Amino acid sequence: MTRTPVNVTVTGAAGQIGYALLFRIASGQLLGPDTPVKLRLLEIPQGLKAAEGTAMELDDCAFPLLRGIDISDDPNVGFDGANVALLVGARPRTAGMERGDLLEANGGIFGPQGKAINDHAADDIKVLVVGNPANTNALIAQKHAPDVPAERFTAMTRLDHNRALSQLSKRTGVPVSEIRKLTIWGNHSATQYPDIFHAEVAGKNAAETVNDEKWLAEEFIPTVAKRGAAIIAARGASSAASAANAAIDHVHTWVNGTPEGDWTSAGVVSDGSYGVPEGLISSFPVTAVDGRFEVVQGLEINDFSRSRIDASVNELVEERDAVGQLGLI
Ligand code: NAD
Ligand code: LMR
């Protein structure tokens, strides 16, 4: 059976994440081996030539699932008919910069893109914002798309989730495939809270297995939360292949669902669960069911977790207020 191709728009297509992402989408890793894709590469004018070069390379791979590539610097064209939009294009943080410094620089990109999505994307559009500050950029885009259900706008914390899986695996000696129910709460920033109190390592509670609050507070949490900065310091550039991998994971899970007995982490619009103000785009434990993310309900939050979740959520409130004052929402 020939399926209709899914239109996938990638902004920042000529950037380093774009380069690590596009070939995996075209090979079927985003949506599965039976789903043909059409790619829309959206860039700024200075990025068009490099995007053309990437498109030539995509052609040269002769991917059986790739049914076309369009390149544009006009968001109204780039998002036309889009079913999935990966908003990657933004200025990355460089050494010494905090994400807050990026609010103004990148906030201006996401309003017009949100409006273009509102006006031109397909009815089933799913949006993942990768460009930083991802949660607040997603909020800006969502606020400019009043006709699109708010839940279709998400921000990426899957990279943080994967980082936390890997650190916990190293500490316990249990492979990541046997770790479940980890959660990243809050902002994709140094205030994020990787929570292992509900996680399971080879079927046993992770916090009890580790049984070391000093390691948790002084090693695990800061290592995960500051990993982005550590990679910038080591590589001289922000994470790219791991970020692209997490974007693939996020959309693949959103479309295909979470495995039975597990959940993942994603920045989704808060419905007020766990005391996170309604409307903020914050990371939660989520399952994906029938193409929708649902926040896992009913988890007990201890004092250790509560103060950390609150700190990260407060930062999101501050970012929302800051972009409000800048007139970006
Ligand atoms: P990059 O500088 O290599 O590429 C960014 C690309 O975006 C460039 O080609 C640029 O021309 C393009 N661009 C800029 N403004 C645009 C616009 N308005 N429309 C379309 N394209 C535009 O950067 P990168 O390393 O690929 O990182 C991209 C973003 O992803 C950064 O904001 C970075 O901080 C962020 N990031 C997020 C995560 C996460 O976990 N959420 C992880 C890694 C990186
Ligand atoms: C990351 O987490 O690697 C990215 O968000 C880059 C950064 O600025 O930390």
The token duo for 292 is 């929708």
What are the CA-CA distances from residue 166 to residues 58, 137, 216 (Å)? 31, 27, 14
Residues with a known catalytic role? 188
Ligand nearest to the CA of 246: 1
For the beta sheet containing 84-87, the strands, ordered from the edge strand earlier in sequence to the opposite edge, are 66-72, 37-42, 6-11, 84-87, 126-129, 153-155, 264-269, 281-289, 292-295
Alpha carbon distance 168, 177 (integer Å): 11
Q: Which tens digit of pLDDT belongs to each residue from 51-87?
A: 999 999 999 999 999 999 999 999 999 999 999 999 9
315 membership: H or E segment, kind and range:
helix 303-325
Between CA 139 and CA 270 the distance in angstroms is 11
The dihedral built from the CA positions of residue 260, 265, 269 and 273, taken in this order, carries a sign that is positive
Atom number, ligand 2, closest to the C-alpha of residue 97: 8
239 lines ligand 2 (CB under 6 A): yes
**158-319 in CATH: which number?**
3.90.110.10
DSSP state of 186: B
Residue 238 Cβ contacting ligand 2 at under 6 Å: yes
Nearest to 26 by CA among 60, 81, 64: 64
Q: Do residues 244 and 20 touch, judged by C-beta distance below 8 A?
A: yes
pLDDT tens for 164-220 read 999 999 999 999 999 999 999 999 999 999 999 999 999 999 999 999 999 999 999
Contact 119, 77 (CB under 8 A): no
Model pTM score? 0.97
Residue 1 DSSP one-character state: -
CA of 227 to the centre of ligand 2 (A): 7
Please state whether beta strands 84-87 and 126-129 pair in parallel, antiparallel, or not at all (unpaired): parallel
Question: From the annotation, which residues make up the binding site for NAD(+)?
Answer: 12-18, 106, 113, 130-132
* Interface ipTM: 0.98
Q: Is the peptide bond prior to 64 cis by the omega test (within 30 degrees of 0)?
A: no
Nearby residues of 135 by Cβ (< 8 Å), 6 or more positions away: 129, 155, 187, 188, 267, 280, 281, 282, 283, 316, 319
- For position 100, what pLDDT does the model report? 64
Report domain extents, the chain.
6-155, 158-319
Residue 47 Cβ < 6 Å to ligand 1: yes
Interval 16-50: pLDDT, tens: 999 999 999 999 999 999 999 999 999 999 999 99
Query: Regarding the domain delimited by 6-155, which CATH topology (the fold level of the hierarchy) does it fall under?
Result: Rossmann fold (3.40.50)
- To test ligand 2's pocket by mutation, which of 102, 103, 162, 238 has the most ligand atoms within 8 angstroms of CB? 238
Kindly state the tokens that stand for 22. 């596009």
